[in-house]
Structure 1
Amino acid sequence: MTAIRSTLDATGEDFRVASTSMTDKLVEIQTEFDKALAGGGEKYVARHRKRGKLTARERIEMLIDEDSAFLELCPLAAYGSDFQVGASAVTGIGVVEGVECMIVANDPTVKGGTSNPWTLRKILRSNDIALANRLPVISLVESGGADLPTQKEVFVPGGRMFRDLTRLSAAGIPTIALVFGNSTAGGAYVPGMSDHVVMIENASKVFLGGPPLVKMATGEDSDDESLGGAQMHARQSGLADYFAADEQDAIRVGRRIVSRLNWRKQGPGPVAEVLEPRYETEELLGIVPSDLKIPFNPRDVIARVVDDSDFDEFKPDYGTSLCTGWARIHGYPIGILANAQGVLFSQESQKATQFIQLANRSNTPLLFLHNTTGYMVGKEYEQNGIIKHGSMMINAVSNSTVPHISVLMGASYGAGHYGMCGRAYDPRFLFAWPSAKSAVMGAAQLAGVISIVSRAATEARGGTVDESADAAMKQMIEAQIEAESVPAFLSGMLYDDGVIDPRDTRTILGLCLSAIDSGPVEGTSNFGVFRM
């Protein structure tokens, strides 16, 4: 038998403390989720409804198949900024007429759905996911265009949003625009560059310049309908392919469009029946200690995530700070790399490199479970080649072409974040638990390094170190790094695709693997030069 025997004591004090800590963090994160769910707030939601309109989330709920899941992405975008949490857009993967689609919905209750810098980043991330995983894109459009006060941050990079739509189309990935209201200025190019366009009578307004701008630019008098109304675009310009009576009708038409796409997945599909883990999912709350300096066994996580808790471990007695092996999640084959004791040594790096190569030979997706403080430092390890061995692992991750998914459970520091396929290495999806932290190094270590460097500079100048000032500086830096290392902050920066409840990990991984299966899953034997 290769079923994992969990070492977790769910009745012990350590479990209780860890579970309480995780639960508290989940409550804090839920507060931020609630801000995203609230949109522009009660006043603006009420005004929107008074106009007979559905909210962005209601539109999504009506669009996707009944009782199907919606995997929302980047819900905390713009956290910590001057903009509303969620960045005035809702994005995620939903099933429409049996087809997994990327759905992008403007939230008109937040500043009229205008696009600020975070909105742009969020939509561009969605486009990247759609292209990498071959997901049809459905845009639910109602936006006043760019947020003008921040246009300097939106205008130039914003052109990529329209380029992405044409590249998706060129790749044979359908793009569909359902226009619920304004789609003005640059926003007019969303329907203009989509394969299929639905507009709503007396609601959709699509024009490069509205009546005031036209008056200023040409002296011409015009009204919304003759300039960019749904009826005009359906009967004269030809921009509208379908003319809907109301929002519900537009959603019905959108679903019919998807049903006629004749869409087929290109992945290999599940290879086995789905078997639930042998251990309770609820116990995932108590595995990661509140103090990330305390190690935990990642096999306890794997046992509660993979099918039948069945895991064939690869090289279990070599490079033991990294756990690697083969499993299935919701019937899909998966290779797993999970940090066991935090630090990555030369053996772990070599083991990971071989494992990644094997996964590419067998066309097996990879799951990276992060809890690492980085690659080991020190004279002995430098002399034994930690740089070249760590570089081998990063080389393998960089050039691997099978799909990667990353989950940050605990620490994810330094180059270890890179070797475990952090955001810069383009994992198909990256999620974080509320317990995760990511930075160049731990806050205390970073503050200490800066203190040492500062002391050396002062002494080199012949000065005397002010101990109280040094202590205050360390305290200030440590607090800053701590605040910038937590999941909500990193998620707000779009460095992950969402902060998730550990108990949802298996479900979310299953949804991701199913989405990935929309496209081919192909490995490679073409890696960079490995410095041996």
Structure 2
Amino acid sequence: MTSALDSASPEYRDAADTMRGKLAELDGIFAQLAAAGGDKAVARHRGRGKLTARDRIELLLDRDTAFLELGAFAGWGSDFPVGGSVVGGIGVVSGVECVILANDPTIAGGTSNPVTLKKQLRIMDIALKNRLPLISLVESGGANLPTQSEIFIPGGDSFRRLAELSKAGIPTVAIVFGNSTAGGAYIPGMSDHIIMIEKQSMVFLGGPPLVKAATGEVSDEESLGGAEMHARTSGLADHFARDEQDAIRIGRRVVARLNYEKLGPRPAAAVAPRYDEAELLGIVPGDLKIPFDPREVIARIVDGSDFDEFKPMYGSGMVTGWARVHGYPVGIIANSKGVIFSQEAQKVTQFIQIANRQATPLLFLHNTTGYMVGKKYEEGGIIKHGSAMVNAVSTSTVPHISVLIGASYGAGHYGMCGRAFDPRFLFAWPSSKSAVMGGAQLADVVTSVAKASAAARGLPFDDEANELRRQAIEQQIEAESLPLFLSGLGYDDGIIDPRDTRTVVGLSLSAISSGPIESDRTFGIFRM
């Protein structure tokens, strides 16, 4: 590929400055995540001789390997702590790529709230679909009782997924660092391998106060559910550790003895892009109405900036083609002009079919305002062609990765494999926006309908009040389109620095290759 990007231009500098500002905002939230439950809670936790959740993960991982954190901003804008009181992601343990879920006991004792549950289920889903062993670092008081109505019934899904993982031959390991009470007791109870720590791990369905209230029996925590009891008497504990570091050491040995191997394709030798990944900061304009060439993004994330474009002269509003990222083959689908016309939809549909025939994963780079509307385009069959593209995305069985780099509006979000279309991973740049349509357009539609309705009924209409309403709606939609808002709802797996895109996509493809890349190569009926 040959780049035409001018990193010295005012347009580039403005876009890069805007991106840096958005990244600075994220840095502030990362600082909140690092602070966990706050200085006092962390100091109290360390005073008990315990490691924090992130310390435990760092010791568990192989030295100098990456950790792809998932759902870091879950719960942003809600009544619950950002991050959902749990740290989760993908990392390498004893040479094996694993999914790791760690309760943060410095936040409300590690109890699970609705955000915790949603994030936990999503990460367990990633383990199941990508055939990745799951390691649970457990220290939780169970459900956050004031929110029990929101988590009790759906919370059972976490136990079902542990059983599904085990049934699928995907190992599950639980290292218990503290209390694992009530429903939380079933996390180790349903795991394949359980490690408990002397005079620290406590696993019981009901603690001493509940047992006394229910049966009148008086007991202490150690005899009721301590590590030694479970190692000697109940048999729940498979391994007995002396302290946290010993438990992590044993956990690493358990993973090393799994004899777990990848079933997917081996990567070829990775070749760095010809162009600087740092230049990704200034490619997407601050105003998403200004077009940009996604080839400039592709040139900075694929191996050797080597990209074989498919149908470059047909449906030029979409860029499709073949490349490798960190040695893994991938088909790329990227929006070029924002609006998707019939030719673009037909081109993408064919490309998806070919990718399935070749069993090649697909990477979607979003920057779309949706499918084209208007009399001419309706007559030209935009519904048929857009539906065929959505059909192809829906029934494609090769793994999909989506990265929202610009706009992702309306049915275009669906056709580009949005969250509802089950991509293996979905990430967002800070520059992205996603909603049913742009804020200005949505506000105009709502207020125009209101004005037309009043006219049809012969009612007086207040144009000034309607304009205030239009502005309020536009502001609301703009706020709800931002990546932090959507990430807080769990609609992506993380907001990433554009400069990390190649690394994140490479880690995702590596995780995907833990299982075989398969395709049944069948599709439904496309309306031609």
Which residue of 1 is the match for residue 401 of structure 2?
405
Q: Is the deviation greater in 328-337 or in 521-530? A: 521-530
Matches of 1:97 and 1:273, distance apart in 2: 22
1:488 paired with 2:484, answer yes
Out of 132, 142, 146, the position equivalent to 1:145 is 142
Out of 177, 190, 197, the position equivalent to 2:194 is 197
1:26 paired with 2:28, answer no
Out of 229, 253, 256, the position equivalent to 1:256 is 253
Q: Percent identity?
A: 70
For 1:144, give the aligned amino acid. Answer: G
Which residue of 1 is the match for residue 283 of structure 2?
287
Shift of 1:24: 0.4
Out of 399, 418, 423, the position equivalent to 1:422 is 418
CA contact (8 A) 1:139 1:176 kept: yes
CA contact (8 A) 1:359 1:523 kept: no
Out of 26, 37, 40, the position equivalent to 1:40 is 37
Structure 2-normalised TM-score? 0.99
1:390 paired with 2:389, answer no
Out of 352, 356, 369, the position equivalent to 2:348 is 352
Which residue of 1 is the match for residue 310 of structure 2?
314
Which residue of 1 is the match for residue 185 of structure 2?
188
Q: Is the deviation greater in 330-339 or in 35-44? A: 35-44
SS at match of 1:202: coil
Which residue of 2 is the match for residue 167 of structure 1?
164
Question: Structure 1, residues 188-220: CA drift from partner, whole Å, max 9, x if none?
Answer: 000000000000000001000001111111111
Out of 83, 88, 91, the position equivalent to 1:91 is 88
Matches of 2:227 and 2:473, distance apart in 1: 55
Shift of 1:76: 0.3
Shift of 1:461: 2.0
Which residue of 1 is the match for residue 496 of structure 2?
500
Aligned pairs (5 A) from 1:221-370: 221-270=218-267, 272-370=268-366
Shift of 1:397: 0.5
Question: Structure 1, residues 203-253: CA drift from partner, whole Å, max 9, x if none?
Answer: 001000001111111111111011111111000111000000000000000
Matches of 2:396 and 2:485, distance apart in 1: 29
SS at match of 1:364: coil
Shift of 1:37: 1.6
1:10 paired with 2:7, answer yes
Matches of 1:225 and 1:330, distance apart in 2: 49
Shift of 1:323: 0.3
Matches of 2:179 and 2:377, distance apart in 1: 60
Shift of 1:465: 1.7
Question: Structure 1, residues 140-174: CA drift from partner, whole Å, max 9, x if none?
Answer: 00001001111100000000000000000000000
CA contact (8 A) 1:393 1:419 kept: yes
Shift of 1:462: 1.1
Which residue of 1 is the match for residue 101 of structure 2?
104
Q: Which runs of 5+ in 2 are unaligned?
A: none
Q: Is the deviation greater in 68-77 or in 454-463? A: 454-463
Matches of 1:338 and 1:524, distance apart in 2: 24
Shift of 1:464: 2.0
Counting matched residue pairs gives: 528
Matches of 1:447 and 1:30, distance apart in 2: 32
Shift of 1:523: 1.9
Shift of 1:498: 0.3
For 2:242, give the aligned amino acid. Answer: A
Matches of 2:520 and 2:291, distance apart in 1: 34
1:432 paired with 2:428, answer yes
Matches of 1:78 and 1:268, distance apart in 2: 36
SS at match of 1:5: coil
Aligned pairs (5 A) from 1:214-225: 214-225=211-222
After TM superposition, the runs of 4+ consecutive aligned structure 1 residues lying more than 4 A away are: none
1:464 paired with 2:460, answer yes
1:55 paired with 2:52, answer yes
Shift of 1:524: 2.6
CA contact (8 A) 1:306 1:329 kept: yes
Out of 170, 173, 176, the position equivalent to 1:179 is 176
Matches of 2:421 and 2:3, distance apart in 1: 31
SS at match of 2:5: coil
Shift of 1:268: 1.3
CA contact (8 A) 1:266 1:518 kept: yes
Which residue of 2 is the match for residue 210 of structure 1?
207
Out of 367, 370, 381, the position equivalent to 1:371 is 367
Which residue of 1 is the match for residue 448 of structure 2?
452
CA contact (8 A) 1:143 1:182 kept: yes
What RMSD in Å do the two structures reach over aligned CA positions?
A: 0.6
Matches of 1:117 and 1:235, distance apart in 2: 36
For 1:56, give the aligned amino acid. Answer: A
Shift of 1:55: 0.2
